[in-house]
Protein backbone atom coordinates (compact mmCIF):
# COMPACT_ATOMS: atom_id res chain seq x y z
CA UNK A 1 0.00 0.00 0.00
CA UNK A 2 1.31 3.45 -0.89
CA UNK A 3 -0.15 6.65 0.56
CA UNK A 4 0.09 9.63 -1.73
CA UNK A 5 0.32 13.39 -1.32
CA UNK A 6 1.50 16.25 -3.48
CA UNK A 7 2.95 19.71 -3.03
CA UNK A 8 3.21 22.70 -5.34
CA UNK A 9 5.59 25.59 -4.59
CA UNK A 10 5.78 28.89 -6.44
CA UNK A 11 8.30 31.67 -5.98
CA UNK A 12 11.46 32.07 -3.97
CA UNK A 13 12.04 30.49 -0.57
CA UNK A 14 11.14 33.50 1.57
CA UNK A 15 8.50 35.17 -0.59
CA UNK A 16 7.04 32.07 -2.19
CA UNK A 17 4.15 29.94 -1.12
CA UNK A 18 2.87 26.47 -1.60
CA UNK A 19 -0.02 24.09 -1.23
CA UNK A 20 -0.12 20.51 -0.03
CA UNK A 21 -2.84 18.00 -0.88
CA UNK A 22 -3.46 14.35 -0.07
CA UNK A 23 -4.94 11.79 -2.44
CA UNK A 24 -7.81 11.20 -0.01
CA UNK A 25 -8.70 14.88 -0.03
CA UNK A 26 -8.24 15.26 3.73
CA UNK A 27 -5.78 18.00 2.86
CA UNK A 28 -6.83 19.94 -0.22
CA UNK A 29 -4.50 22.75 -1.23
CA UNK A 30 -3.49 23.42 2.39
CA UNK A 31 -1.26 26.49 2.44
CA UNK A 32 2.33 26.50 3.62
CA UNK A 33 5.10 29.07 3.41
CA UNK A 34 8.43 30.19 4.80
CA UNK A 35 6.52 32.25 7.38
CA UNK A 36 4.50 29.26 8.62
CA UNK A 37 7.54 27.03 8.75
CA UNK A 38 10.20 29.32 10.18
CA UNK A 39 8.54 32.42 11.59
CA UNK A 40 5.57 31.05 13.53
CA UNK A 41 2.82 32.38 11.26
CA UNK A 42 -0.38 30.41 11.67
CA UNK A 43 -1.80 30.95 8.20
CA UNK A 44 -1.03 27.44 7.04
CA UNK A 45 0.62 24.15 7.87
CA UNK A 46 4.20 22.92 7.82
CA UNK A 47 5.79 19.62 6.84
CA UNK A 48 6.76 19.18 10.51
CA UNK A 49 3.14 19.65 11.63
CA UNK A 50 2.10 16.87 9.27
CA UNK A 51 4.88 14.64 10.61
CA UNK A 52 3.63 15.38 14.14
CA UNK A 53 0.10 14.38 13.15
CA UNK A 54 1.36 11.22 11.46
CA UNK A 55 3.49 10.25 14.45
CA UNK A 56 0.70 10.88 16.97
CA UNK A 57 -1.70 8.76 14.94
CA UNK A 58 0.81 6.00 14.27
CA UNK A 59 1.90 5.77 17.91
CA UNK A 60 -1.70 5.69 19.17
CA UNK A 61 -2.53 2.81 16.83
CA UNK A 62 0.65 0.96 17.77
CA UNK A 63 -0.14 1.37 21.47
CA UNK A 64 -3.65 0.05 20.84
CA UNK A 65 -2.12 -3.00 19.14
CA UNK A 66 0.33 -3.59 21.99
CA UNK A 67 -2.45 -3.32 24.58
CA UNK A 68 -4.60 -5.69 22.54
CA UNK A 69 -1.77 -8.22 22.49
CA UNK A 70 -1.76 -7.95 26.31
CA UNK A 71 -5.52 -8.72 26.31
CA UNK A 72 -6.39 -5.14 27.24
CA UNK A 73 -8.87 -2.89 25.43
CA UNK A 74 -8.15 0.82 25.69
CA UNK A 75 -11.09 3.10 26.35
CA UNK A 76 -9.09 5.97 24.88
CA UNK A 77 -5.58 6.85 23.78
CA UNK A 78 -4.82 10.54 23.24
CA UNK A 79 -1.39 11.41 21.86
CA UNK A 80 0.25 14.72 21.04
CA UNK A 81 3.50 14.92 19.12
CA UNK A 82 5.84 17.91 19.11
CA UNK A 83 8.36 17.93 16.26
CA UNK A 84 11.42 20.17 16.61
CA UNK A 85 13.06 21.54 13.48
CA UNK A 86 16.47 23.00 14.29
CA UNK A 87 19.50 24.28 12.45
CA UNK A 88 22.44 21.91 12.79
CA UNK A 89 25.95 21.93 11.34
CA UNK A 90 24.56 19.93 8.42
CA UNK A 91 21.62 22.32 7.85
CA UNK A 92 18.04 22.15 9.11
CA UNK A 93 16.94 18.82 10.54
CA UNK A 94 14.23 17.30 12.67
CA UNK A 95 16.21 16.86 15.87
CA UNK A 96 13.58 15.84 18.43
CA UNK A 97 10.08 14.43 18.65
CA UNK A 98 8.23 14.37 21.96
CA UNK A 99 5.26 12.03 22.20
CA UNK A 100 2.88 12.75 25.07
CA UNK A 101 0.11 10.22 25.50
CA UNK A 102 -2.64 9.69 28.04
CA UNK A 103 -4.60 6.48 27.96
CA UNK A 104 -7.57 5.04 29.80
CA UNK A 105 -7.15 1.30 29.86
CA UNK A 106 -9.43 -0.63 32.24
CA UNK A 107 -7.53 -3.37 34.05
CA UNK A 108 -4.06 -2.25 33.01
CA UNK A 109 -1.26 -2.08 35.54
CA UNK A 110 1.33 0.68 35.28
CA UNK A 111 4.02 -1.89 34.49
CA UNK A 112 2.04 -3.49 31.66
CA UNK A 113 1.08 -0.10 30.25
CA UNK A 114 4.67 1.17 30.37
CA UNK A 115 5.91 -1.95 28.57
CA UNK A 116 3.22 -1.62 25.90
CA UNK A 117 4.01 2.08 25.44
CA UNK A 118 7.75 1.42 25.07
CA UNK A 119 7.05 -1.37 22.57
CA UNK A 120 4.70 0.91 20.64
CA UNK A 121 7.36 3.64 20.49
CA UNK A 122 9.89 1.14 19.14
CA UNK A 123 7.49 -0.54 16.72
CA UNK A 124 5.55 2.38 15.26
CA UNK A 125 6.62 2.82 11.61
CA UNK A 126 6.99 6.60 12.02
CA UNK A 127 9.22 6.04 15.07
CA UNK A 128 11.28 3.59 13.04
CA UNK A 129 11.67 6.19 10.30
CA UNK A 130 13.35 8.59 12.74
CA UNK A 131 14.93 6.10 15.18
CA UNK A 132 18.57 6.39 14.14
CA UNK A 133 18.80 10.13 13.62
CA UNK A 134 16.27 11.88 15.86
CA UNK A 135 15.75 11.88 19.61
CA UNK A 136 12.30 10.48 20.37
CA UNK A 137 10.99 11.16 23.89
CA UNK A 138 7.94 9.37 25.26
CA UNK A 139 5.83 10.68 28.11
CA UNK A 140 3.08 8.09 28.64
CA UNK A 141 0.49 8.33 31.38
CA UNK A 142 -2.13 5.80 32.36
CA UNK A 143 -5.28 7.56 33.59
45-102 tens-digit pLDDT: 999 999 999 999 999 999 999 999 999 999 999 999 999 999 999 999 999 999 999 9
Cα dihedral 138, 133, 81, 142 in deg (nearest 10): -10
Measured distance CA(52)–CA(29) in Å, rounded: 19
Choose which CATH entry (3.30.300.20, 3.40.710.10, 3.40.640.10, 3.60.21.10) describes domain 47-142: 3.30.300.20
Measured distance CA(118)–CA(54) in Å, rounded: 18
Measured distance CA(69)–CA(5) in Å, rounded: 32
* Domain spans of the chain, in order of start: 5-38, 47-142
Q: What's the rounded mean pLDDT across residues 37-46?
A: 89
Q: What is the pTM of this model?
A: 0.93
Residue 1 confidence (pLDDT): 85
Q: State yes or no: pLDDT of 40 exceeds 90.
A: no
Q: State yes or no: pLDDT of 43 exceeds 90.
A: no
Measured distance CA(132)–CA(129) in Å, rounded: 8
State the average pLDDT for the chain.
Answer: 96
Residue 124 confidence (pLDDT): 97
Residue 42 confidence (pLDDT): 86
Q: How many CB atoms lie within 10 A of CB 125?
A: 12
Amino acid sequence: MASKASAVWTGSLKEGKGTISTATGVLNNANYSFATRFEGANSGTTPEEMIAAAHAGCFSMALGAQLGAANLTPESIATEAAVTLAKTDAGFAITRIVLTTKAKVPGATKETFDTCAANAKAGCPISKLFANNTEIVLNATLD
